[in-house]
Chains A and B, each alone.
Chain A
Amino acid sequence: MHLPKSWSEIDVLQFKEIRELYTIPEVFNREIEILAILADVSSEELEDLDIEEVTAMISQIKFVNSEPSKQYKHQLDDYHFKSLDKLTVGEYIDLEHYFSKDYNQNIGHIASILYRQKSVDQWGVTVFEPYNFSPRVRYELFEDYCINDIYGIIPEFISFRENFMDTYGNLFHDNTADADDEVRPTNSEEAKEIQKEKSQLKWGWERLIYSLCNEDLTKFEEVTNLPLIMTFNMLAMKKELNI
């Protein structure tokens, strides 16, 4: 039975399958299912073995309890990593969405936003393909790559997001004030106010875009294609100067 020795032998699809098994609460049951995936056998085939035999195998796949490499490739065939400081508003919003759901299961979707085709225009400037596709139709392109090739984009984005929130968090604060505190309304007016705040939180990004569009939805795409950092710098300036 061949068993991989490290993440370098695991592709993105297998990684997702393995991480999904972490919902199994019983450790031994989970380890057996992971072993079956890595050995490419059904878990039933392992069931007649003695616990001593499988323990030796499980000890060979301990690497699954660690993280894959944080060094990611900047090019995967025709797809190139788009630097995070070049993200657009729309790309960032979609990344936030996939991270908030489950970034391990959405790593292909995340990669499809961050790895893009590029070309050089007539002025010699490198341009990335526009973000006019759905990650849902492209994520499978990344599932055959080794997990070590792309896993590093996860901590990279998380770190970027932390810095982004440190810098621009106050712009979200009005929208998300007291989001974590469960406030009990004492009267119907307060209840309405809390409900309004919850709705505002739920529609946070939509409200932001709606306001950037000056309530003109025909400008939706224009706004989502704006550079993220520039947009938030302008919003920060607007807020500080109260204009």
Chain B
Amino acid sequence: MVTILGIEVPNQLNELTVQQFETITTIHANTDLDAIDKHLQVFEFLGVPTIEWDNVEIEEFKEIVRNFNDIQSKPELVNTLEIDGYTYTAFEDKFKLSVKDTKHIEKIMHSKHKGYISELLAVLFKRTDLTKVEHYSDAHIKLKAKLIRELKAELAVPYLVEIGQKLSKHIPKDAPTEILE
């Protein structure tokens, strides 16, 4: 936690939920906002009213942002989750991306909707008592995403890093062939 203008605000990955993390990344992805507005919106979302900033000097604001962004832990990939008595597994020994998972993940990322991080994790984490068909049904993925949204962001971040690295390495960047005219 970090204290901002007397208010306790979660900033560590084991304090923020996946849902909060999704909102923060959505705010940061908003190209209509400048850097200061993005931080103000994030702080407001986490409980610091915008009006409180009226008398804050820019140097003090910069220091607050620096403290907020100071992430202490570096979480590892967690391969198994237990939720409501069910086991969800993302991989056995080493994290791999299958073609099927990648196809789903690419579609989710392409849709650019707010809850994409939890849906992306919902594709990777498969309930061990279910079949392959059930893993990928839209309704099941939405349900898993809803459960994952309540978990801590420390679960999501290592996966985002791994997926980002794999996709940038493996997904071809060739422009669609538009040929002549």
Contacts and interface: CB of A to CB of B under 8 A. Distances in A.
Do A and B associate with each other? yes
A68 to B, nearest CB: 9
A62 B170 contact: no
Given A26-B110, A27-B172, A47 B177 contact: no
Contacts of B99: 32, 46-51, 54
Interface in B162-181: 166-167, 169-177, 179-181
A58 B98 CA distance: 15
Classify chain A: how many residues form its interface, as a range.
Answer: 20 to 34
Interface residues of B, number: 24
Contacts of B102: 28, 51
Contacts of A46: 99
A143 interface: no
B173 to A, nearest CB: 7
Contacts of A27: 106, 171-174
Contacts of A51: 96-99, 102, 166, 170
Given A26-B110, A46-B99, A50-B98, A55 B174 contact: no
A52 B181 contact: no
B177 A66 contact: yes
A28 to B, nearest CB: 5
B107 interface: yes
Given A50-B96, A50-B97, A50-B98, A31 B172 contact: yes
A29 interface: yes
Given A51-B97, A51-B166, A158-B181, A32 B103 contact: yes
A22 interface: yes
A19 B169 CA distance: 24
Q: Which 6 A-B pairs have the closest CB atoms?
A: A47-B100, A55-B170, A51-B97, A65-B174, A26-B106, A28-B106
26 contacts: A22-B176, A26-B106, A27-B171, A27-B173, A28-B170, A28-B171, A29-B103, A29-B106, A31-B171, A32-B103, A48-B98, A48-B99, A48-B100, A49-B99, A50-B97, A50-B99, A51-B97, A51-B98, A51-B170, A55-B170, A65-B177, A66-B177, A154-B179, A155-B180, A158-B180, A158-B181
